[in-house]
Every structure is written in C-alpha cells, then in structure tokens.
Amino acid sequence: MALLPSRVKYRKSQRGNRGGNATSGNKLDFGDFGLQTLERGWVKNIHIEACRVAITRFLKRKGKVFCRIFPHKPVTQRPPEVRMGKGKGSPEFWVAVVLPGHMLFEISGVNEATAREACRLAATKLGIRCRFVSRESLHK
C-alpha cells in the first residue's frame, strides 16, 4: 500500500523552506511512547510504510500504532540523460516534510521495553536521526 494523497490541487510543488523547529505535532497526543525526529528532512512514502510494517510486526497485534506524518509533497525527477531545459519533470514519489521535534509514530498499550525496541527498528528504516520519547520523559 503506497501512501499518497487521493487528490491534490497542484500536480507539482516547489521545494520549499525547511527552516526552524516543529511547532505543531511535537507532543505525544495519542500514545504513551513515540518516535521523535532530531533532524530536518524529507521522509519518503515507502520509508513511512516500512516503519509502520516494522513496528506492527514487532508488536504482534498488541497495542496500537499511530502514524503522525503523511506524504503531501510531490517530488519531481527528470529522466536520465536528458538535455537542459524543456520544463519540469513528472512527479516520481511523495515525501513528508519533517522538522526537528516532529513526532513520527506513537505507540500505546505495550510496555516501555517493547515500545523502545519497536521504535528502534523503525528508526533504522529512516534516513534521519530520531529518539525514543515517553510521557514521563517529556513531562520532566
């Protein structure tokens, strides 16, 4: 199952500005444990799906997983060995823009050791540094 929007207003988008830290989506809202980013970047739709599969397989249908990011931005590419000019390429994949502090996944209904290992497995699928957070660690 590929994550992508069902409809978009514009087929192609500009690269945009990725400055600053996450001001929304940076707290645990649904679960007791979470995976939080420490870097800024783009997370591809296939990487989000790989993380989700890794977490759910490790939890073995116990607990609940909340995915807090969605790939809304299309990224275009030109075919290889094409000369300069002739316009912008076609959309190839979709990315989610993440800023430092953004909560990627949340887990509830399992103990901390299980959630920590599930988040570790998911973090290896991503190209950005992440950390494991819990409700107790955020309230200190």
CA distances, 75 to each of 89, 103, 131 (Å) = 9, 22, 27
Indicate the helix (H) or strand (E) that contains 104.
Answer: strand 103-108
Residue spans of the chain under pLDDT 50: none
pLDDT of residue 30: 94
C-alpha 54/C-alpha 125 separation (Å) is: 9
pLDDT of residue 96: 95
**Tokens 């830290």 correspond to what residue?**
21
**Tokens 């997983």 correspond to what residue?**
65
pLDDT of residue 140: 64
C-alpha 118/C-alpha 116 separation (Å) is: 5
pLDDT of residue 1: 66
Instruction: Give the residue from 52, 28, 31 showing the smallest Cα distance to 102.
Output: 28
pLDDT of residue 38: 96
Residue 99, Cβ neighbours under 10 Å: how many? 18
pLDDT of residue 51: 95
CATH topology for 42-76+91-134 is Aldehyde Oxidoreductase; domain 3 (3.90.1170)
Residues of 17-37 as b/e, b for ≥16 C-beta within 10 angstroms?
eeeeebeeebebeebbbbbbb
Helix 45-59 / helix 112-123 crossing angle, nearest 10 deg = 150
